Amino acid sequence: MLEKNGIKRVPIVSNGKLVGIVSRANLVQALASARKEIKAAAATSDRMIREELLSRLRKEPWARTSRLNVIVHDGTVELWGAVRSRAEKQAIRLAAELTPGVRAVNDNLIVESVASTLHLAIA
């Protein structure tokens, strides 16, 4: 509205007395600062989502978290790694989907084949 009406500064009045002046530049700077704070809060939330998911999975005897890589960005969970079965893959995905704060899950988990598992066990 300031731009539209060609207003560069606005007086701030309290109880009929001038207490300050706000410029368009002040407003832009405040908006930029607020955006940084929002991004920082999102990063904290992403870290908390990741920690919560991994904590839940570590409590499960079937989950091998050492073979998982979990990345969270803006509430989207990326699952990477190898699992032993389709059931394990589905359970990990479900655990991610049920974690508070998760907006989406990208499942890139690979189900190991029986042959490759046997080959690794022999080697």
Three-state SS across the chain? Answer: CCCCCCCCEEEEEECCEEEEEEEHHHHHHHHHHHHHHHHHHHHHHHHHHHHHHHHHHHCCCCCCHHHEEEEEECCEEEEEEEECCHHHHHHHHHHHHCCCCCCEEEEEEEECCHHHHHHHHHC
> Which candidate, 77, 70, 74, places its Cα nearest to that of 42?
74
pTM to 2 decimal places: 0.59
The pLDDT, as a whole number, for residue 7 is: 86
100 or 44, greater pLDDT: 100
Q: Which residue has the tokens 């920690």?
A: 51
Q: What is the mean pLDDT of residues 99-108?
A: 94
> What CATH fold (topology level) applies to the domain 45-122?
Histidine-containing Protein; Chain: A; (3.30.1340)
**Whether pLDDT at 100 is above 60:** yes
Q: Are strands 9-14 and 17-23 parallel, antiparallel or unpaired?
A: antiparallel
Q: Give tens-digit pLDDT for 26-83.
A: 888 887 776 666 665 665 699 999 999 999 999 999 998 999 999 999 899 999 999 9
Which band of pLDDT confidence, cut at 50, 70 and 90, is reported for residue 121? low
